[in-house]
Amino acid sequence: MLLLAAVSEALSGVDAWLAHSASGALRGPEWVPAIFGPLAGGALLVAGLIALRRRTLASLLATGVFAASIVVGLVGAWLHLQRAILPTGPAGQRVQLDLFFWAPPVLGPLAFTFIGIFGTSAAWEEVPPGSGRLRLPGDLRLQLPYPKTNAYFYITATGVLIALVSSVFDHAATGFADAWLWLPTAGATFAVVAATMLGAIERPTPADLWTYVGAMILLLAIGAIGAALHLRLDLGPGREIVLERLLHGAPLMAPLLFSNMGLVGLVALLPERHLP
């Protein structure tokens, strides 16, 4: 989970840089996620390495990174929301639904917040496994309302839901003219239901688990297909790579969020193991 979180932080920073570069040059706060993402990813990789010998120090380092990630995401979402609702705009340009389709994506920055939430769960050891009891510094205990694995299922469902809503908003601007646009809508909806139900089931059957695995594999496929379709649209008729097209066309990395959540969902099935 820490490795996935590290990669997600770094890629979210790259995605933020690409999105903000579409307006020309990055200005002021727009640099924050672009710089923070790779730095946070590097710090989490360091935490993963030192966790083999100093678990508590690694957990504290990771928790600090995730706390900062939550703040970066919430502040970014607020700044995007202000652009979407134009609170100081002239009459007729405030809080219009169309603005949410064309304004900076309000849910986009929340990727950092989401990584911070599920990463914090991964940073602390559950003792004993399946109890929902996290061991904190000073031999303190934090009792979760459900086992850590179930928390991962709920977090997976939340992450897929965020990607789903963001996808619907983006595709609504095109009127869902292409039949391919319904694939992430239907597939992600199924994955949200599957992950939520598995988190709520106390003793899942093999059929429950295989249904969930199928939903996560479907997310992997949706991300890959979406990225390929976006790339084809960005390249245009001549199949030439033009940076301007990549910046202003269909967002290349957005569909990969579905693949990322599919990986998170599959890793959640792995058994908890204690580090020395």
pLDDT for the residue 234: 66
Asked if residue 215 has pLDDT above 90, the reply is yes
Q: What mean pLDDT is predicted for residues 258-266? A: 89
Instruction: List pLDDT tens digits, range 152-162.
Output: 888 888 888 87
pLDDT for the residue 254: 77
Asked if residue 97 has pLDDT above 70, the reply is no
Instruction: List pLDDT tens digits, range 36-63.
Output: 888 988 998 888 888 778 878 888 888 8
Which residues fall within 8 angstroms of residue 211, CB to CB, at 6 or more apart? Answer: 194
DSSP 212-267: HHHHHHHHHHHHHHHHHHHHHHHHTTTT---HHHHHHSS-SSTTHHHHHHHHHHHH
Asked if residue 260 has pLDDT above 90, the reply is no
pLDDT for the residue 87: 52
pLDDT for the residue 141: 82
Q: Which of 135-144, 175-184, 262-271 has the highest mean pLDDT?
A: 262-271
**Model confidence, pTM:** 0.69
pLDDT-wise least confident of 6-10, 95-99, 251-255: 95-99
Asked if residue 100 has pLDDT above 60, the reply is no
Instruction: List pLDDT tens digits, range 188-199.
Output: 999 999 999 998
pLDDT for the residue 94: 52
pLDDT for the residue 33: 84
239: which 2 tokens? Answer: 């199949």
Whether the CB-CB separation of 223 and 11 falls below 8 Å is answered with: no
Percent of the chain with pLDDT over 70: 76
pLDDT for the residue 249: 57
Mean pLDDT, the chain, as a whole number? 78
Whether the CB-CB separation of 209 and 199 falls below 8 Å is answered with: no
Asked if residue 248 has pLDDT above 70, the reply is no
Whether the CB-CB separation of 160 and 191 falls below 8 Å is answered with: yes
| Pairwise pLDDT comparison (145 vs 258), residue with the higher score | 258
Asked if residue 165 has pLDDT above 90, the reply is no
